[in-house]
Structure formats: C-alpha cells, structure tokens
Structure 1
Amino acid sequence: MTDLPATTADPAPGALYWDPYDVAIDADPYPVYRRLREEAPLYYNERHDFFAISRADDVDTVVTDPAAYISGRGAFLDFVRAGIEFPPGMFIFQDPPVHTRQRDVLAGVFTPRRVAELAPQIRAYCARSLDPLIGSGRIDFVTDLADQMPMRVIGMLLGIPESDQELVRDTTTGSMHTDAGKPMEVASNEAQGAAHESLYADYITWREKNPSDDLMTQLLNSEVEDESGDRRRLTHEEILTFVGLLAGAGNETSGRLLGWMGKVLGDHPVDRRELVENRALIPAAIEEILRFEPPGHSFARVLSRDVEWYGTTVPKESVVVFLPASANRDERRFPHGDVFDIHRPRTRHFTFGYGIHYCLGAALARLEGQIALDEVLTRFPEWHVDEENARMLSSSVVRGWETLPASIP
C-alpha cells in the first residue's frame, strides 16, 4: 500500500491541501485542482476524513459504478456527515432500485422536446427582467437576471403563483448557503418535512381541486412502483419532497450558470463580441461556460466495498468526494483545460453528472442559458464587471455569485 498525501489540522505552508470549506481555496480552486490531478490523484483529507478524486477518467469510474459508490447516504459531504434519514421522494440521495422507481416519475417531464416548448415563456421572462435596465447603465447578472428568470420558469412549471415565487426561491436556495468556512447545517427529516409542508401544502391542496397542465398536476396523477411491484399514487409526503427538490434545483443550477455567464464573458470580451456577430455559437458558448465554471464542484459517495486507487486500498464505508470542476479541466480529456474556448470541440463534461444520477434538468438549464445569453447580447453587447462590488456566495455545495454588478455602456 502506498502512502497517501494526508492533511493535518495545520498543513505546512506550500503543502498540497484541498478543503471544501476553505474560503481562500474556493475563491480560485483551479490551481489546487491542478496539483491534485498531478501530485495526488487519490487525496486524503485527514481533517474531514474523506478521499478525493480529481482526474476525468477517475470521476468517470465513480459516477458509472453506483453499486460501489453509493448515494443513499447523501450526495454531498455535509449530508453524509449529518447521518440523517432522507424523506421519501428525495431520489438524488437514494440508490437503485428505489432511486430508479422514483426518478422515473419525472423522467418524461424534462425531455428535450418538452423543454423546447418552454422557449417562448423563457424568452418572455428574460425580456421582463432585462427591458427595464435599458438605458440604466448598469446590470447585476445575479439580482436582475439569475434570481429572476429561473424562478419564473420553475414557478410556472409547478403552478406556484407569482406573488409567492420569491419566497419559494429564497427559502429553497437559502438553505444551500452557509457561513464562511463552515459546513451546511443539514435539517433533520422531520424538519425538512415540516418546512415543505409549510411552503407547499396549500399549493398542492388547491391544485388537487383545480387540476391544470402543470407539473404539480402531473405529480398528483403520477404513480410509482412500490417494493412489491404494485403501482400506487404518490403519497402527500413524496409530492412535497418532489416539489421542494424541483424548486431548489430549478432555481439554483440555472441561476449560478447565468451568474457565471456574466463573469466569464465579461472576462473574455473578444469571445463575447464574436457571439454578438454570430449567434449560432451561443449553444457552444453555454456548453463551454458550463465546463469552465460549473455550479457544483464536489459531490460525495460512500463505498459499499473496498476499492483500490493508485496502489492504495480505500476501505468500505469511506467517503469519496469527486471533483467535476477539476475533471472538467483535466488536460488528459480537455486540452488546454484552463483556457476558455467557445470553439472547443464538443467533449462530454461532468457539470450535469453522468450515469444514473445525470441531472434531469440539464436540457432546461441549457435552454435557459442559451436564451438568456441571446437576449442579453441583443440589448447589451458590451459590459464590464464591477469587480470591487461583486461578491461570491458562501456555500459548501455550490460555487457562484451572490451579486455580480456590471456597467453597460
């Protein structure tokens, strides 16, 4: 067995150290990721007792072997350490066959065809957010756009009244934010259930009596296969969990993407001007932003058996954290991975995961990003990010901007 690069409570100056709760690292984690890939492709953090995997081929191994690397204890380090039981319907934190049965409930909702039908509404929501800013000289890519358009889209899909959408957004996404340098405070199953009941029960009850062509009605009419193989309707608790999960994911992932869109293209004005002249490049640009600055940087799995990495046996019950943001820049898979290139040949990145836990909302997030970029470029072909007043959010689960102001000539 080889010796692992291990960390102590006080790593020596210059020593290789990665910690998902370290604010200084999070400000620019990519130099550390590069060192992990080259110096310690299997890395052990003694302080928090987890192993980390950072190379593209190795992340592939983790995400395509759900039998060995299980999600049922939580897909984030904070949740694994909390050791809580997850409510029925929280399929992202479950393993087959329960995961498969519950994911299938939503599998037909976010197909490319059904998502494409949302384009006119998405474009209208973008216009609603951006038109009031014309002539103002200023835009905040987070508060003016990223906090607005995705909220309207997921609210429309779920049938949540516009008057309540901001409350839903702030409640669901606020739970992912943490105090600087601290793990997330994970609520118990009972507390999560009570929060969902308080937030969504009235909508569900109203929709039961007033069915419509929205996702809430679809959930009310959906069936799931139970452990005995029988079909049954979703329980009230399962519907609450599904709605809470969709509201949180629908706001957070797309919102972080739009924030990074403003920052990355603000930093690369030549690429931005090329996009202004050639809108056909927008899908490739969004894909490159997703690769270059993904919202999620670390995900966790628990080992169901011993596995071997680089001559080291990692024992059963160990926590393995894999780093899609590092894998997305691994030059073994992505030549010149630290370079933003809207002409990069299409290669599958890790931002939306892979395998059985591939993000169901990927097609929707891509469409929202493409339409938002097109609408922004139409109104504001030039912008300059106000670096002094931009502020990153504090979170151990997502990486993005809390506010990103820019001047618009």
Structure 2
Amino acid sequence: MREEAPLYHNEPHDFYAVSRYADVEQVLTDTVAYSSARGVMLELIKLNMEIPPGTLIMEDPPIHNIHRQLLARVFSPRRIAELEPQVREYCTACLDPLVGETRFDLIEKLGLEMPMKVIGMLLGIPEEGQAAFRDESNAKILTEDGGKIDFSEEVILTHEAMGDYIDWRYAHPSDDVMTELITAEFEDENGVTRTLTRDEVLMYVTVLAGAGNETTGRLIGWMGSTLARHPEQRAELAADLSLVPGAVEEVLRCEPPGPFNARYVTRDVEWYGRMVPAGSAMLCMVGAANRDPRRYDDPDRFDIHRKKGMHLTFILGPHYCLGSALARLEGRVALEEILKRWPSWEVDWSAAKMQNTSSVRGWEKLPLELG
C-alpha cells in the first residue's frame, strides 16, 4: 500500500488510509483538517455520535489543550520517575517465583497484570479494584470475527465502577494522580477558574487507566517475541543492560501496540491528485509508516543500535501520548528484570496466540521456553 496506493480507499467500509511516514505525520499534526473529536477508531467515527467532554484523546484544540495541560501537571516526569522502585519491586515479585521453571506464559505472568498495577500506583486505585477494571477495559475493545467492534457510547466510554474509587478518594485524599485531579484548579474554556467535576474526574481516570493498561501490556509481549527472533541482539542486551532503552524503542517502532489511528476529515482535502471529501474517515497506518524506507534505512530490520528517530507509535503533534514516559519506564524495567533472570528463551509458537482489537495488536498468549 505504501508503494502502490499511498492514498488507499476501502469502498466496502468507505474509509481512506495513508501509510507513508510523511503523510501519517501530516494527518496527525493537522487538527484543523483532521479532527479527533468524532473518535480515533473507524467504528466511532462511523457512528457519528457526540463524544463526552474530557475524553482528551477524542478532542481538538483549544479545549484539548486545556485538558491536556491539566493532566500534564499531574503526569509529571518527577512523578513517573518516582514510580520506578515500585515498578521494579512488582516485577521482581512476579518473576522471582518463576526462576527454575522451564516454561511460563509471559502475558499471563507479567503482561496482563503489570500495566494495571502501575496505573493503580499512579492513580491510587485500590488494589482490589484493579483486576476488575482491567478485565472490563479489555472486554470492551475485543473485536468479533471480521475485526469490527460493536459498541455503544455507554459501553465504550463509561466505567461507573471507577466512580466508587473516586468517591473514596474525595473522602481519603492521598499523594496520587486521582487526588490531584480532584483538587487541581484550572481555567476552563469559558474562562472560569474551577476544579473538575466528579464526572470529569471519572472520564479522565477511565481514559488514563484504559489506555495505559491495554497498550503497555502488548509492548511487554512484543519484547518477548521480537527478542526470541533475534537471539544475537538479545545476548548483547543481557551482557549490557544500558542497551535496553534503545531495544525498547526499536520494538515500539517495529511492533507498535497501536498500529492504527483514525481521524474525521473536516473539509475536502487532496491527496495524490484525488479528492477526499469532508465527512470521510481517514485511517493513519502507524505500523506501516514506522517501516517507511523514505524515513528509515533498511526499515524491516530490527536493530537495537538504530539511531533514534522519531517513530509514530506514540503519535505526534497535540495528541502525543502523555503516558509515553510511563510506557518506556515499564518496558525498560520489565526487560531488564527478565534478562537478569533469563538471558535466553524460545517461544512455543504453536501455543502462542494473537489478539487484535480495533486499536491494539498484540499477544494474548506467549509461552516462553527457558534456556
């Protein structure tokens, strides 16, 4: 598609797609012509429904900027860095009991649980509620045969169970993001200085927890499978853990957990001599753009020493992923702790199972056979 149909039109489902790096970058950064306010998945855009305020990833400037600045204050580099000892302690607790085993499922033992635990640490979600929220989040974005998700506004965008924890935090403030969201003052789009309403806090927490849980779990799986296919580079990492951040970045480029991102076209636009009419859905093929030979030398080669170039896995422009630093932290710590215990492994590919959703791609089962 990158070479033969740089502007692709899918007639049965009536959407357009771009797959070259420069084209995807243009769509993601032009919020006037390509809006997020109708959703960032094809199904949502096609529903043409009103998106509740506060979803952040489904907003356009200027209101997006107001909400993003509020979250950026509580998603600070300091707060993320302070999580590292807790993240490492959790990894250790998960992996130590597996030492001596000859086989375990990386997704079951780490990928499924760790991201929700870390989001729980950040947000202050009581531990007993984390598993239930994770399962609810994952279930809501599973696709049926044919790859299309079937949802309503109520199904995809609300997690009222989280309201119980928000109410609890109102009564029991702490040093966590949820408390800061409840108490932070900001100037809203009407020029009024206020704090967030309970419903706004609920929406923020839902978006943060859901997004961070699903994508980072997939990253852990992709690190396991990709390094199994490149044992020489894995051996380099095991011998020198300072190379791990570069390896995490290359996995993010080669196997992005979120390979697609969609936008609503607000006005007629021209691509490659063809007109895309206002009201269309435009799919950005992030996974293809990350392997565009116009951007990367030998783009299909996995290389932990590749010079860092801005991949599109965390999106670009106003919607650059606020949780990118947290995802990188989790990926780095997880890979370091795995390599400390098992410098080599194989995957039982016959028992491995992929899971696809409308927005996320990764492993549902990834059994590792340990060397």
- TM band (smaller chain): over 0.9
The one-letter amino acid paired with 2:313 is T
- Report the counterpart of residue 118 of structure 1 in structure 2: 83
- C-alpha separation in 1, matches of 2:104 and 2:344: 11
Query: Does residue 332 in structure 1 map to residue 294 in structure 2?
Result: yes
Separation (CA, whole Å) in 2 of partners of 1:298 and 1:60:
13
Which residue matches 1:141? 106
Q: Offset at 1:229?
A: 0.9
The Cα shift of 1:81 comes to: 1.2
Q: What does 1:315-326 correspond to in 2, within 5 Å? A: 315-326=277-288
Q: Distance in 2 between matches of 1:328 and 1:112?
A: 26
Selected match of 2:159 from 185, 196, 202: 196
2:316 aligned with 1:354, yes or no? Answer: yes
* SS class of match (1:261): helix
Equivalent AA in structure 1 for residue 348 of structure 2:
D
- Give the structure 2 partner of residue 395 of structure 1: 357
* Native 8 Å contact 2:37 2:59 kept in 1: yes
How far the C-alpha of 1:191 sits from its partner, in A, is 4.8
* Alignment match, 1:172: 137
Give the SS at the match of 2:151.
Answer: coil
> 1:252 matched to which residue of 2?
214
Residue 331 of structure 1: SS of its match in structure 2?
A: coil
Check the 8 A contact 2:46/2:281 in 1, yes or no.
no
Matched, 1:236 2:198: yes
How big is the shift at 1:408?
1.1
Alignment of 1:185-334 (within 5 A): 185-188=150-153, 190-191=154-155, 195-197=158-160, 199-334=161-296
Shift of 1:263: 0.4
* Amino acid corresponding to residue 86 of structure 2 in structure 1: Q
AA of the residue aligned to 1:234: L
Decide whether the 8 Å contact of 1:222 with 1:233 is kept in 2: yes
Instruction: Report if aligned partners of 1:226, 1:232 keep a CA contact under 8 Å in 2.
Output: yes
Equivalence for 1:23: none
In structure 2, C-alpha distance between the alignment counterparts of 1:166 and 1:112, rounded to whole Å? 26
CA RMSD between the two structures: 1.3
Q: By how many angstroms is 1:368 displaced? A: 0.6
Distance in 2 (CA, whole Å) between partners of 1:191 and 1:130 is: 35
Shift of the alpha carbon at 1:135?
0.8
Counterpart CA distance in 1 for 2:119 and 2:181 is 14
Matched residues, percent identical? 52
Partner of residue 46, structure 2: 81
Distance across 2 between alignment mates of 1:384 and 1:373: 15
Which secondary structure state, in structure 1, belongs to the residue aligned with residue 213 of structure 2? helix
Q: Is the Cα contact below 8 Å between 1:82 and 1:186 reproduced in 2? A: no
Change (3 A) 1:166 1:331: same
Q: Mind listing any 5+ residue stretches in structure 2 that lack a counterpart?
A: none
Q: Compute the TM-score of the two structures, normalised by the length of structure 1.
A: 0.88
Q: Residue in 2 aligned with 1:408?
A: 370
Secondary structure of 2:70's partner?
A: coil
Residue of structure 2 in register with 1:20 after alignment: none
Q: 1:70 to 1:266 in 2, by over 3 A?
A: same
CA distance in 2, matches of 1:183, 1:271: 37
Gaps of 5+ in 1: 1-35
* Counterpart Cα distance in 1 of 2:277 and 2:53: 29
Q: Secondary structure at the match of 2:71?
A: coil
CA distance in 2, matches of 1:112, 1:205: 27
Q: Distance in 2 between matches of 1:273 and 1:266?
A: 10
